[in-house]
């Protein structure tokens, strides 16, 4: 299927081959050159072709897909200048999401689902602390301690800090200095409301692709203020899709198209190990019917390893300060106005075509923000995700264990105050304690043996 996305100066159309969209792409250009409108138009065309779309709304001006466009003075002027036909104005089915729940359905995942690799990135841990965090997750799995929300992980780290010696025979040295650093990182990050992202009910990715042709808009005006959470969320979403969707091979139209704005933040401070894993995911996720477009100011914002996987390229105008970067067509790009681009797409055989100058076709829905948007129009999803669930997990289990230990210690001290301590000074477990430990150990082994993690460390589904 050919999808017209831009018009050459001679009036001919530049078309995207729908079966090549899963070879991914990028949209770049300086601020004010029209990247957001290009993203909007491309998202609409993929939705019209039958793909589900998920995009990030960083500036808050992409909430208007549900409102048909109109011929405004600005749009008329743009069309006349470039001899463009009037768009076939229409609206699109839209679902809104927001980690903080203010401009859409809350998006959550569990601490366990996120995995230690991405949690270490979020907390900005060094290599030693990251390795320790992997061990902490393993202990949680083995002990049957569910890590659902942020306080679960915080309580577990605290518990292990205070009882590290009890676990060192099975897991090796649990360095208290590194443990303390993880505790401090958890406290510091909690002040930035990252706890909103963790918990239940967790997002079911099937809800993003349940209705083909739907545009899912993720509000990120507040999220973008926490760059680490923003980048971690995008990496988590990419990893979850890769691990959970079935292989479907080459498709005429993608099942899902992702648009990641401010893409440079994804790679800011990313470790080489995590970057290599992301490269693998980008390379392999197209067989799941998923396409990814990165949006940023410069192609150089995207690492070469990832850039090599992006076949469809749309470059808007640049500023003089970027002209020294190793970009193709830099002389031309310096002179481009709003909506003017250099495009190189893949042909039907997957071969990159030469760059061509063109003008992006205007979107069919309203351009800009609309003030009468209903962010919760999908009542079934609003009911499903609206209320946070807080079931018994690691926090409650460890709190109960600490209380029990204190009571037992107090009772033991009183009962042995007038007696000689037994050799070694260690109190034998009561029958009830033995049973509880046996059940917990059995549950932990059962839970741990059924868990597996994917390329980026997120929990696999079976």
Span of 329-333, 338-342, 399-403 with lowest mean pLDDT: 329-333
CA dist 66 and 374 (Å) reads: 9
How many CA atoms lie within 13 Å of 218's alpha carbon, on the beta-carbon side? 20
Q: Same domain, yes or no, for 220 and 162?
A: no
Q: Same domain, yes or no, for 295 and 341?
A: yes
The answer to whether 266 touches 260, Cβ cutoff 8 Å, is: yes
Q: Does 22 map to a domain?
A: yes
Q: Does 228 map to a domain?
A: yes
Q: Does 83 map to a domain?
A: yes
Task: Give tens-digit pLDDT for 193-243.
Answer: 899 999 999 999 999 999 999 999 999 999 999 999 999 999 999 999 999
pLDDT at 24: 97
**What integer best gives the mean pLDDT of the chain?**
88
Q: Same domain, yes or no, for 6 and 77?
A: yes
Task: Give tens-digit pLDDT for 260-269.
Answer: 999 999 998 8
Task: Give tens-digit pLDDT for 292-323.
Answer: 999 999 888 999 999 999 999 999 998 766 65
Q: Same domain, yes or no, for 175 and 317?
A: no
Other CB atoms within 10 A of residue 190 CB: 13
Q: Does 92 map to a domain?
A: yes
pLDDT at 413: 55
Residues spanned by the domain of 445 = 109-199+373-400+432-462
- Angle made by CA atoms 263, 264, 266, in degrees to the nearest 5: 70
pLDDT at 420: 43
The whole-model pTM stands at 0.87
Which among 318, 346, 369 is the end of a domain?
A: 369
Give, as one character, the DSSP assignment of residue 150: H
**pLDDT at residue 442 greater than cutoff 90:** no
Q: Same domain, yes or no, for 189 and 300?
A: no
Task: Give tens-digit pLDDT for 78-126.
Answer: 999 999 999 999 999 999 999 999 999 999 999 999 999 999 999 999 9
Q: Same domain, yes or no, for 230 and 296?
A: yes
Q: Same domain, yes or no, for 333 and 383?
A: no
Q: Find, among 333, 332, 356, 360, the residue nearest to 344 by Cα.
A: 356
Q: Same domain, yes or no, for 64 and 136?
A: no
Q: Same domain, yes or no, for 219 and 349?
A: yes
**CB neighbour list of residue 453: distance below 8 Å, 6 or more residues apart:** 115, 459, 460
Q: Same domain, yes or no, for 257 and 385?
A: no
Which among 328, 354, 369 is the end of a domain?
A: 369
CA dist 264 and 260 (Å) reads: 10
CA dist 97 and 114 (Å) reads: 18
Q: Does 393 map to a domain?
A: yes
Helix %, strand %, coil % of the chain (to 5):
45, 15, 40
H/E stretch holding 360: strand 356-360
Per-residue pLDDT, averaged over 358-381, amounts to: 94
Q: Same domain, yes or no, for 71 and 174?
A: no
H/E stretch holding 439: helix 431-449
Instruction: Tokens 């996305």: give the residue.
Output: 5
Q: Does 258 map to a domain?
A: yes
Q: Same domain, yes or no, for 348 and 455?
A: no
How many domains does the chain fold into?
2
Confidence grade of residue 432 (pLDDT, cut at 50, 70, 90): very low
Q: Does 408 map to a domain?
A: no
Q: Does 409 map to a domain?
A: no
pLDDT at 239: 94
pLDDT at 293: 98
pLDDT at 336: 86
Which among 354, 369, 384 is the end of a domain?
A: 369
CATH number at residue 49: 3.40.50.300
């Amino acid at each position: 299927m050919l999808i017209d996305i831009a018009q050459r100066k001679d009036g001919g159309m530049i078309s995207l081959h729908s079966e090549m969209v899963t070879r991914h792409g990028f949209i770049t250009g300086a601020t004010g050159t029209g990247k957001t409108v290009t993203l909007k138009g491309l998202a609409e065309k993929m939705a019209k072709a039958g793909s589900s779309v998920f995009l990030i709304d960083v500036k808050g001006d992409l909430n208007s897909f549900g409102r048909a466009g109109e011929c405004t003075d600005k749009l008329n002027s743009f069309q006349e200048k470039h001899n463009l036909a009037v768009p076939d104005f229409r609206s699109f089915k839209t679902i809104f999401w927001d980690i903080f729940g203010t401009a859409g359905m809350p998006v959550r995942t569990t601490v366990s689902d996120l995995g230690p690799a991405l949690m270490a990135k979020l907390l900005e841990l060094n290599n030693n602390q990251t390795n320790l965090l992997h061990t902490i997750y393993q202990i949680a799995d083995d002990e049957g301690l569910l890590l659902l929300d942020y306080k679960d992980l915080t309580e577990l780290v605290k518990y292990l800090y205070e009882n590290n010696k009890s676990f060192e025979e099975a897991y090796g040295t649990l360095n208290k200095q590194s443990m303390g650093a993880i505790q401090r990182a958890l406290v510091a990050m909690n002040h930035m409301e990252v706890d909103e992202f963790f918990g239940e009910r967790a997002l079911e990715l099937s809800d993003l692709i349940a209705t083909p042709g739907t545009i899912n808009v993720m509000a990120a005006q507040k999220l973008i203020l926490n760059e680490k959470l923003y980048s971690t969320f995008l990496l988590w979403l990419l990893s979850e899709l890769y691990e959970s969707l079935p292989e479907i091979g080459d498709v005429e139209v993608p099942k899902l198209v992702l648009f990641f704005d401010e893409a440079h933040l994804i790679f800011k401070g990313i470790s080489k190990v995590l970057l290599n894993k992301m490269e693998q995911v980008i390379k392999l996720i197209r067989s799941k019917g998923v396409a990814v477009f990165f949006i940023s100011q410069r192609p150089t914002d995207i690492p070469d390893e990832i850039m090599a996987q992006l076949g469809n390229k749309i470059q808007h105008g640049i500023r003089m300060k970027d002209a020294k970067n190793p970009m193709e067509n830099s002389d031309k790009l310096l002179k481009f106005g709003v909506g003017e681009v250099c495009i190189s797409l893949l042909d039907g055989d997957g071969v990159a075509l030469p760059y061509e100058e063109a003008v992006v076709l205007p979107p069919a829905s309203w351009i800009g923000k609309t003030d009468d948007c209903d962010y919760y129009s999908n009542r079934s999803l609003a009911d499903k995700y609206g209320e946070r669930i807080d079931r018994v997990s690691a926090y409650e289990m460890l709190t109960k264990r600490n209380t029990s230990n204190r009571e037992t210690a107090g009772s033991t001290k009183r009962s042995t105050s007038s007696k000689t301590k037994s050799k070694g000074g260690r109190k034998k477990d009561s029958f009830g304690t033995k049973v509880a430990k046996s059940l917990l150990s059995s549950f932990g082994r059962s839970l741990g043996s059924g868990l597996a993690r994917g390329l980026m460390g997120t929990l696999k589904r079976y």
